Structure formats: structure tokens, C-alpha cells
Chain A
Amino acid sequence: MKTSARVAYIALISCVAVLAAVGIGAIVLVILGADVVQTYKVILTEPLKDLFGITEVLVRAVPLILVALGIAVSFRAGILNIGAEGQIQMGIISATAVALAWPALPKSTLVPLILLAGAAGGALWASIAGYLRAKLGVNEILSTVMLNYIAAQLYGYLLRGPMIDPAELQTGSGTPQSVRLPKSAWIDRIIPGTRLHWGIVLALVLAIFIYILLWRTTSGFKLRAAGASAKAARYGGINVESCLFFAMVLAGAFAGLAGAVEVTAVHRRAIEGISSGYGFSGIVVALFGGLHPGGIIPAALFFGVLLVGTDMTQRILSIPANMVSVLQGAVILSIISAKMVINDPYAREKFARRLSRFRGHPGGYEVKR
């Protein structure tokens, strides 16, 4: 297959995939009676119009990058971590607990300690699913989804019970939230007046770390080998089970870290709804970014725009913000379909044949696989 035909093929399939995703969203918008073109325009351009919008996009991109990096590692290793949502919540809980337990520590010690605690919380939660998969062959998608529901209940219980702000009990309003974190536990903001914080630097550094881990170290090679072909990897002497476990724990640690960053840099106290779907959006970002840190960063920015944009459509056009979930679902379905079609050698060949016939060279193609 000629390179030009190949490029044309990939471009064509990608265009069809984008159209399909946009089309599914459009169906829902038409049912709502909304102006489809204007809605998409608001979603994609409104967040980028001023400093506030742009910084908000970056604020959303931080947890998306962190979660997606972890998910990329787990997907590459062949274990599908759908439990980031619960792992984020566990990260928030442990980060908050550490911050409230040692408020007197200097900032230079406390902040790293909080981040480590968050990562440990997420890792521990993920290790349940990792262990069950590696040792007992339990389907990790089902177990992580169930752990999400369990984590949500545990989170609610802790915020309503043991971890509730005593002031809430005194005033009797009983909002489920923890005490405000001490100032020494805060991650500072980069631009005063906006919510943009130094967590973004951490996310970018960790993206480089994941790149090095996956493509420049032996353990990264083992992980990718286990995911690409478990049988071959096992034959090559790789302990696939421990790879799966390790990948899951690492993914959990990243999700927990995302939770810790959110609580110390953005909300500064544990409240309900901090995770707000980042765990699921992270999956979309990881897939959209091709499970590679270099793709995840732009993908996270794009989905940051999408998240802020759908918030804005809610305010401007009164289209519910749940719309983002529709778009994300449609994007997942079209990405994975497009990827399979692009990689299908027979479909590619058929296309090349059609193309050369169209150009007036019937049969003038060479078969190369």
C-alpha cells in the first residue's frame, strides 16, 4: 500500500470517527431542541475567550493528566482500570487526614507528605482489584466498578461521620465536609485571582516520568509486553501477574495523587463531588491521547475545554452539563472503532484497491501486508 493511500485512509477513517462522535452528540442536542452548531461553538470556543476560562481549562487538565497517565500505564499492561473515581476519593481521604493530623509541620514537609499519602490511599484501593485479578482471576472491570460504588459510600460516610467539620455540627447545617486544611498544607496558586495552581507543573513532570518508565526502562518494557501479549511475555520469563498488579497499583497511586492535588490546591477541604467524574474522563483522555504521555497532555487540554465548555452551555444555553458524558461516551466508541478499522489490513487493502480504481488504474495496486 502506497504511503499516500495509507495517509488518505487514516485521514478518512479519522474524519468519519469525528463525524460519528459529533453526530451522536448532535442527536441528543436535536432532541433537546438546541441549536447544534451554536452549542458546539460555545463548548469549544467560549472557555478560551478570557484568562478565567483558560486557567479553568488548565485547572481541569491537571487531574485529567494525572488520572490518564495512570490509566495509560494500566491499559498498556493489559489491566483495565475503571476504578479511578474511587481511587481519587481514597486519595482525597488520606491526603485530608494527613493534612489535618499534622497541621504544625512546615509546608516543605507537609505538602510532599500529603501528596504521598494521597498516592498511597489510591494505590491501596487499587491494590484490592489488582490482587483479585492477579491471584484470583477476577475481572478487573467489574471489581473496579464495584470498588467505585463502595468508595463513594465510604467517602460519604467519613464526611458525614468521623471527618465532619465540628462547626457544621454546632451550627446544625450538617454539610458533609471536613475542616478547612491549614495554610501550611496548601499548594499555591500561580496566578492570583484564578485557581491555576502549581499542580500543573507536577502533572507535566510526572508525564515525563511515565514516558521514561514505559519506554526507557526494563520494567516499562515488561509492562508493555505483558499487555501486548501475555502469552509471549510469560514465555519470555516475565511475571505477568506481578506486572498486572504493579500497573494497577501505579494507576491507583496516580489517581490518588490527583485527588490529593485537587483537595490541597483547589478545594482546600474534602467536600462531596471533588472527583466529579475525573475518573471516567481520565479514561477518555488516556484513550484519546493514544495511551502515550505526549498525546495525553493535549488530550487533557482538549477535554478540559470540553468540561469547562459544557459548564458554560449550562449557563448560557441551559443545556445540562451531563452533555459532556454523552460526548465522552461517543468519543470512546468512535476512537476504539476507528483504531480497529485503521489497523485492519484487509479493510486497508480494500480501500487502496478502490482508490487506485478511482484514479483509473484498475488492478494497479500492490499487495503488501
Chain B
Amino acid sequence: MTALTIVLNILSIGIPFSVSLLLASLGEMFNQRAGIFNLGCEGIMSMGAFLGFMCAYSLQNTAMTPYANLMGVLVAGVAGTLLGLLFALVTVTFHAPQGIAGIGLQMLGTGAAGTLFRHFVGGVTGIPGLPNCPIPLLSKVPFIGPVLFNMNILAYLAFLFVPLSSYILFKTPWGLKVRAVGTSPRSADTMAISVQRTRYQALAVGGLFAGIAGAYLSLGQAKMFADDIVAGRGFIAVALVYFGGWDPYRILGGSLLFSIAQSLQLSIQVLGIKFPYEFAVMLPYVLVIVVLAFTRSAVVKGPAELGIPYDREKRI
């Protein structure tokens, strides 16, 4: 194997791996831009992964089969939105501390997904999942063609979401509102922007993205479901938002970096390098801690009121 094929191999595994991280962290970015620190992302992704899988699994060999994957993504998105709104109820309406609420939502989502999976399915079951759709002509380009233009439809959409999110966040009135309620909710409130409503909307969007990110894991990536399918990606997504400085393009870079680190672990095994498997699995998690330790200065650029519940009646 030449060095080039090894690199291409790593990239062709790593780039599709980045999609779920990318979707989840884009959603989380909207949450955090609005001032809400949603650690429940992990739980929402679990539910999304389960529901996406469940739709595809139960619609197998029925009249609905061609739409099974679409249904899966839609159901996961709707469930994600609902869980995002539940989180909004707890943290925005009731002003609950967001870190603990996130852990609660994580336990709730992961637990519910595991319970329902064991009851309705039980064991490891494969599904056909999302087919790859190579883009005509472009996928025939040597080297980069098979790496970049032979993915499933959700992956292309996810990468399109990057400029779209950037546009929404920085060029639309709604994006301005989101940034305003995250930076200075009191000023936003003075300007007749409803802080509560905007935060609810941002959390709904974040939940939608996280749900779809989960569905991508089960439908597009693993093509099965397991209790630990999300394996901390929800938390990594939160860390990626810090790493990406709350900017969609830098978040894209971060998720590519992480997923390539993750795919290194597979390549190491393929190449037969003597290296304990467990240490390779640890790598992305270690990377998160290292990255967080070195992006401390980025926190200064983050939304000023991140993690602080807004109470209109509170005296300053």
C-alpha cells in the first residue's frame, strides 16, 4: 500500500464519519449562540438514532419500503425537536441550571432509546440504510472523486448546511435575534425581541439537527442500532462548538479533524500496527480534552450570556 492510498483510505472513512458530528454541532451552535448550553445533545442523538433505525426496520418489506429512510430521518427530526423543546421548558421557562438539565436529558434519551430498542428489537439487526449516491461525472475524478462524491444524500445535505447555517446566523433577522439573546438578552428584550421565544426556537432547531445527526448514525453510518451507538458524540459535538469558536466553517474543520482521528483507529488495525485497540478508541476523547485545554482563549469570543438563564424580573 502506498502512502497515497492509505491517506485516501483514511479520508474516505473519515469524511462520512464527520457528518453526524457536524450536524449535531451545527445544532448545538444555534443553541449556544442563543445562550443555552445543551448537554442533552447526546440523549437527543440516541433517540434520533433509535427512531431512524426503528422506522427503517419496521417498514422493511412493506409498501412504504422506498420511503423508509426518509420516514426515519423525519421521525428522528420531529422527536429531536420535541426533546429540544422539553429542554427549553426546563431551562428557559423554569430557569433550571443547564449543565445538570443536560445530563438529565442525556440519561432520559439514552435510557428511553435503550429500553425501546431492547423491547421491540432485542439484538443486533442490520438494516439496508441510506444508499450511497455517487454524483455523476464528479465521482469519476481520480483520487478525490470516490472520497468526496460518493456519499449518501444526508451527507451532502449536511455539508450544504454549513454555508446555509452561516447565512442564517449572520445574514438573516432571525440569526441576529439568536445572537442577540445569547450576547445580551436584556438589550434584546429592550428592543422587543422575545428572549424566551427566540431561545425556544433555537433549541427546537438544535434538537432537530441533533435528531437527524442521530438518524445519520444508525441509517447512514452503522446501518444498525446499539445502546452505545452515539458513544459520546453528543458531548464531542458540544466541545466542537467551543473548538470551532461558534462559527459554522470552523466547526466543519473541527468535525473533520475529529472524525479523521477516529478513522485512524480503524486504519491502524487494517495496517496491522501493534497498538492496543483500546488506546486507539481513546484517541478522540483525549483529543477533546487537549483541544478544550488549548481553546481557553476562544471562550472569550463566545456568547457572553452562555449558560445563564434570563430572568426578566431579576434586578441587575
Closest CB in chain A relative to B123 CB, distance in Å: 13
Residues of B1-55 whose CB lies within 8 A of A? 39, 43
**Is A143 close to B, CB under 8 A?**
yes
CB distance from A184 to the nearest CB of B (A): 31
Knowing A28-B116, A142-B238 are in contact, say whether A332-B107 is a contact too (CB < 8 A). Answer: yes
Stretch at the interface among A4-12, A95-103, A318-326: A318-326
Instruction: Indicate if A280 sits at the interface (CB-CB under 8 A).
Output: yes
Q: Is the CB of A326 within 8 A of B108?
A: yes
B-chain residues with CB within 8 Å of residue A280 when the two chains form the complex: 103, 107
Shortest CB distance B314–A (Å): 9
Distance in Å: Cβ of B116 to nearest Cβ of chain A: 6
Pairwise interchain contact A326-B279, C-beta atoms closer than 8 A? no
Q: How distant is the Cα of A324 from the Cα of B118 in the complex, in angstroms? A: 14
Q: CB-CB < 8 A to B288: which residues of A?
A: 142, 146
B96 within 8 A of A: yes
Interface residue ranges of B88-121 to A (CB < 8 Å)? 89-90, 94-97, 99-112, 114-116, 118-119
Task: Provide the bound-state CA to CA distance between A128 and B288, in Å.
Answer: 14
Please tell me if A145 contacts chain B, counting CB pairs below 8 Å. yes
Q: Are B119 and A32 in contact (CB under 8 A)?
A: yes
Taking a contact as CB atoms under 8 Å apart, the answer to whether A329 and B119 are in contact is no
Given A153-B281, A319-B115, A332-B104, check contact A143 B109 (CB 8 Å): no
* Chain B residues touching A, majority SS: helix
A356: interface (CB < 8 Å): no
A150 touches B285 (CB 8 A): yes
Shortest Cβ gap from B249 to chain A (Å): 22
Which residues of chain A have C-beta atoms less than 8 A from B232's C-beta?
145-146, 149
**When each residue 130-143 of chain A gets 1 if its CB lies under 8 Å from chain B and 0 otherwise, what string results?**
00100011110111
Using Cβ atoms and an 8 Å threshold, which residues of chain B touch A366? none
In the assembled complex, the Cα of A31 lies from the Cα of B116 at a distance in Å of 8
Q: In the complex, A287→B96 CA distance in Å?
A: 13
**Number of residues in B with C-beta < 8 Å to the partner?**
49
Residues in A with CB closer than 8 Å to B292 are 132, 138-139, 142-143
CA distance A324 to B108 in the complex (A): 9
**Residues on the A chain within 8 Å of B115, using CB:** 28, 32, 319-320, 322-323, 325-326
Instruction: Judge if B173 is at the interface, Cβ distance under 8 Å.
Output: no
A337 within 8 A of B: yes
| 0 or 1 for each of A309-321: is its CB under 8 Å from B? (1 = yes) | 0000000001110
Report if A69 contacts B (CB, 8 A): no
With A137-B296, A141-B99, A142-B292 as known contacts, state yes or no: A320 contacts B235, CB within 8 Å. Answer: no
Instruction: Give the complex CA separation of A146 and B235 in angstroms.
Output: 8
With a cutoff of 8 Å between Cβ atoms, the chain A residues found around residue B96 in the complex are 333, 336-337, 339-340
Q: List 8 additional A-B contacts (Cβ < 8 Å) besides A142-B292, A337-B94.
A: A150-B285, A153-B281, A157-B278, A160-B278, A284-B107, A322-B115, A329-B109, A330-B108
Which residue numbers of B lie inside 8 Å of A, CB to CB? 39, 43, 86, 89-90, 94-97, 99-112, 114-116, 118-119, 227, 231-232, 235, 238-239, 242, 276, 278-279, 281-282, 285-286, 288-289, 292-293, 296, 299, 313
